Structure 1
Amino acid sequence: MESSGKHFRNGVLFLYLRTMIKLNVTDEFSPLKSVVLGTAKSNGATPALKDAYDPKSAEHIKAGTYPLEKDMVSEMEAVATVFEKYGVTVYRPTVIEDYNQIFTRDIAFVIDDKIVISNMLEDRAQEINAIAHVLDQIPQEKIVRLSSYAKIEGGDVMPFGNYILVGTCRVDHFNNYVTARTNADGVSNLQEFFPHKEVKSFALKKSNYDPRENALHLDCCFQPLGQGKCIIHKEGFEFETEYQWLVDQFGEENCFHITKEEMYKMYSNVFSIADGVVISEQKFDRLNDWLRKNNFTVETVPYAEIAKQEGLLRCSTMPLQRA
């Protein structure tokens, strides 16, 4: 897909064609064609405890075990190598000095052929500017901007065929939690922009202080995998009926149930390259064994340092096109 443009140089008019990015995401596991992968370069110093956005980061700040930039850069490059192996086109954010730009999933997300710009925490507002070179290659009519009062982050949003699944925090609790990232207005906005879909929300358990009791996003306690399988953590959902709805969609026998400790380690935050191909953390032994027994190809990478910030593989990738 191309668009035309023009510019003047020394009084001479030059015409050019610019290749535009095709958007298409309707699920979590169709073959990946292009993606925005975050960057850990110039990630900045360990933040002050008061500036932590989530309880797991705070835990590692207090313990003196917050991840080092060099280790996180190495982990992210391992993912880039896997994408190269599968012929995926990879875009990276422009590096902002001393700024965390790892978790690109949160700043925008694609549904069908449109990209939705998230309304995030104010301290993370610069991150969208770092993918301006990507947005410039997308037709303006394909870029969706939410109402100012609608709060939403991409980790809470999952295209799922005719559904859009969205993790939320209850209206009466939202302002009590720094870990509450998507509100009811965000859900309503999505329904307005995608009226042909059914937007289904799931209230998640939140904690500002205990990472084992906090489902930061929907992808921290649930993820579809392809081949009719999913990963799910029952205790991450505030209401059992909403958890059960998901189980019923897949069938109990197709659900990989993770423990509270596995949720803490981010077991559900793997990333699918195709219907039967998953990138997973190399130490997720129980999950990786189950995947292989169910005929998945598992591409393992080290990602335990990045996981210390309560995000993993899905969090650091923003798919633009799936076949």
Structure 2
Amino acid sequence: MVFFIFTTMIELNITDEVSRLRAVVLGRADSNGPVPALENAYDPKSAEHIKAGTYPNDIDMTREMDAVAAVFEKYNVTVYRPDVIEDYNQIFARDIAFVIDDKFIKANILEDRSKEIDALHNVMEQIDPSKIIEFPEEAHIEGGDVMPWGDYIFVGTYYGNDYPSFITARTNMNAVKHLQKLFPNKKVKSFSLRKSNTIAQDNALHLDCCFQPLGKGKAIIHKDGFLIDEEYEWLVNFFGKENCFHITKEEMYHMNSNIFSISPEVVISEKNFTRLNTWLRSEGFTVEEVPYAEISKQEGLLRCTTMPLIRE
């Protein structure tokens, strides 16, 4: 007698940043390991907290991520978590992979973080293998820089010839060009971002650190995150100046643009983002507030820790 085991496949579908969320990967912080040595910091904000002795601990960060998981449960979103890798940072699920349409794209990330994708085998084994895409080695890309938006794919990058000198430059023009080849029917629009290896307030680590499209035709943006004024102006004109909530340098530092949409009307935001959350509610959004200040010490927030698989 032959027995057949049927596994429910994940039918990937991501065409924008705001449609109703049905399935998501949420990172984990329960075995983050010891505080990194200063020379091993991946970004200036982490380095700042390592030096100050305020680098976040696993207990506090796990509590914060559990609050996000509870919001997902409230909205009947299926949540996948990576397998635990002992003493390894697995918080920022968005960095390691992302979905556009029905394609699961493995990011080319920093070599020290290469194990993270292996911990998602429980997700990838439920995806049609023909839909899993790997970029060529010379095309560097991380999910925080990639935003599908209907006919567009917005991509944060850095155009300078000194790209290799910035550990904070994570997506290069080779990746932008490769995205256009993968999605010939979409318009891939790139934005050169301000980078700093040493000053967190001058560093837009990813596009979602200085820009975020929302439902209702709204967007959050920080002008100084963009190196080229014309590219910033293009975004403002695309969404309409009256629809853009401009954040300050201090608000960018605290990651105000890095919130997360469950639907066109519902967002998850950090509870201390008073000015932003007040504006969101005035525009008719439901704001689910969570504590995420400890996680933000590693220069990432809600969008960085989540990787949507299905929106409808």
Asked if Structure 1 and Structure 2 have the same fold, meaning a TM-score greater than 0.5 normalized by the shorter chain, the answer is: yes
TM-score with structure 2 length normalisation? 0.99
Whether contact under 8 Å (1:282, 1:300) holds in the other structure is yes
Counterpart residue number, 1:315: 304
Q: 2:4 & 2:224 partners in 1: Cα distance?
A: 58
Counterpart residue number, 1:211: 200
Residue identity matched to 2:306: T
TM-score with structure 1 length normalisation? 0.96
Query: Aligned ranges for residues 78-157 of structure 1 at < 5 Å?
Result: 78-157=67-146
Residue identity matched to 1:102: I
Q: Which residues of structure 1 form unaligned runs of 5+?
A: 1-11
Q: 1:47 & 1:33 partners in 2: Cα distance?
A: 35
Q: Which residues of structure 2 form unaligned runs of 5+?
A: none
Residue identity matched to 1:71: D
> Stretches of 4+ moved more than 6 A in 1?
none
**2:164 aligned to which of 175, 180, 194:** 175
Counterpart residue number, 1:7: none
Counterpart residue number, 1:51: 40
The alpha carbon displacement at 1:260 in A equals 0.2
Q: Counterpart of 1:227 in 2: which secondary structure?
A: helix
Q: 1:286 & 1:119 partners in 2: Cα distance?
A: 35
Q: 2:172 & 2:221 partners in 1: Cα distance?
A: 22
Asked if 1:239 is matched to 2:228, the reply is yes
Q: 1:311 & 1:116 partners in 2: Cα distance?
A: 20
Asked if 1:191 is matched to 2:180, the reply is yes
Q: 1:229 & 1:185 partners in 2: Cα distance?
A: 30
Q: Counterpart of 1:298 in 2: which secondary structure?
A: strand
The alpha carbon displacement at 1:258 in A equals 0.2
State the superposition RMSD in angstroms: 0.7
The alpha carbon displacement at 1:170 in A equals 1.2
The alpha carbon displacement at 1:166 in A equals 0.2
**1:230 aligned to which of 202, 216, 219:** 219
Q: Counterpart of 1:50 in 2: which secondary structure?
A: helix
Asked if 1:279 is matched to 2:255, the reply is no
Larger Rg: 1
**2:258 aligned to which of 262, 269, 276:** 269
Q: 1:14 & 1:98 partners in 2: Cα distance?
A: 40
Identity rate, percent: 65
CA deviations on 1:215-244 (whole Å, 9 max, x unpaired) are 000000000011000000000000000000
Q: Counterpart of 2:5 in 1: which secondary structure?
A: strand
Q: 2:36 & 2:104 partners in 1: Cα distance?
A: 30
Q: 1:39 & 1:16 partners in 2: Cα distance?
A: 30
Task: Count residues in correspondence.
Answer: 312
Q: 1:190 & 1:173 partners in 2: Cα distance?
A: 22
CA deviations on 1:76-122 (whole Å, 9 max, x unpaired) are 00000000000000000000000000000010000011111100000
Whether contact under 8 Å (1:171, 1:184) holds in the other structure is no
CA deviations on 1:122-161 (whole Å, 9 max, x unpaired) are 0000000000110000001111111111000000000011
Q: 2:48 & 2:122 partners in 1: Cα distance?
A: 35
The alpha carbon displacement at 1:173 in A equals 2.3
Q: Counterpart of 1:151 in 2: which secondary structure?
A: coil
Whether contact under 8 Å (1:171, 1:183) holds in the other structure is no
Q: 1:54 & 1:172 partners in 2: Cα distance?
A: 20
Counterpart residue number, 1:8: none
Whether contact under 8 Å (1:44, 1:100) holds in the other structure is yes
